[in-house]
């Protein structure tokens, strides 16, 4: 099984729609860290959020929100009222001792927001 | 915040030549830097971890003689693709870890798009 699974290869929405990007992870560690990054067409990776395994509190930052559920090993990311500028590839990543404390990335989800 | 500068952003080279990519941490010291490779529409694959003053640790399947990594100072790591071939064409991206920034401290460079012709 993959360590980080982003089952949605590509999502297209119309501006102002809400969209949720799924992320499912796998690790045997009890302490681990989850990340979301945004990669716009220019290529650089933009850090969005980090969550540690002991903090299941959901977080909201502007139009972005994250739902962390250990019971289902999921760390989903929702964009509310999407905008064209949200169009990018979004990566979920995991850092755990099991994987040598390196960032392990999911395959990414391409989000296209149309006006 | 922490900034990582990666140069060049794009490079085209002839088959058989070598290309050097630089990754600099501008406002922090990075004892550890990571080099990733990304094929079109694919994820980032870690190639190697470089530690200042010591040899890089390569991931399984990555040729260390092909992808030379040097981390001679706390602010600079370089990746040299030696005797490049068209199959080496890819997007290479570095990441530097700012130990003082905690676990948020994985800052990525803007990437280098290498095309070997």
Structure confidence at residue A59 as a pLDDT band (50, 70, 90): confident
Does pLDDT of B95 surpass 90? yes
**pLDDT attached to residue B38:** 94
CB pairs under 8 A between A and B: 44
Does pLDDT of A100 surpass 60? yes
The separation between CA A110 and the C-alpha centre of its own chain, rounded to angstroms, equals 11
- For A91, name the nearest residue in chain B, comparing CA atoms only: B43
**pLDDT attached to residue A21:** 98
Helix then strand then coil, in percent of chain A rounded to 5, is 10, 50, 40
**pLDDT attached to residue A2:** 64
Note whether A53 and A74 are within 8 A (CB): no
Residue A42 is nearest to which of B42, B107, B110, comparing CB atoms?
B110
Contact A44 B104 (CB under 8 A): no
**pLDDT attached to residue B16:** 97
B27-69 tens-digit pLDDT: 888 888 999 999 888 899 999 999 888 889 999 999 999 999 9
A3-21 tens-digit pLDDT: 999 999 999 999 999 999 9
Residue A43 is nearest to which of B104, B107, B111, comparing CB atoms?
B111
> Span A9-35, mean pLDDT?
95
């Amino acid at each position: 099984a993959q360590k980080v699974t982003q089952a949605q290869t590509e999502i297209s929405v119309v501006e102002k729609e809400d969209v949720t990007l799924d992320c499912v992870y796998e690790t045997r560690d009890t302490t681990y860290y989850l990340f979301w990054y945004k990669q716009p067409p220019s290529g650089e990776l933009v850090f969005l959020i980090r969550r540690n395994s002991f903090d299941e509190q959901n977080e909201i930052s502007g139009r972005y929100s994250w739902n962390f559920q250990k019971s289902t090993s999921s760390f989903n990311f929702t964009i509310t009222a999407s905008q064209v500028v949200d169009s990018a590839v979004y990566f979920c990543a995991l850092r755990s001792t099991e994987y040598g404390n390196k960032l392990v990335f999911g395959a990414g989800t391409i989000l296209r927001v149309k006006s | 915040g922490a900034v990582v500068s990666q140069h060049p952003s794009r490079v085209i080279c002839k088959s058989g030549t070598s290309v050097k990519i630089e990754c600099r941490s501008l406002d922090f010291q990075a004892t550890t830097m990571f080099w990733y490779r990304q094929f079109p529409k694919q994820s980032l694959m870690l190639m190697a971890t470089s530690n200042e003053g010591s040899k890089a640790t390569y991931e399984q399947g990555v040729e260390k003689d092909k992808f030379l990594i040097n981390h001679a100072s706390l602010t600079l790591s370089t990746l040299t693709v030696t005797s490049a071939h068209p199959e080496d064409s890819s997007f290479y991206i570095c990441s530097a870890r700012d130990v003082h920034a905690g676990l948020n401290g994985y800052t990525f460079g803007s990437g280098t798009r290498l095309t070997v012709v």
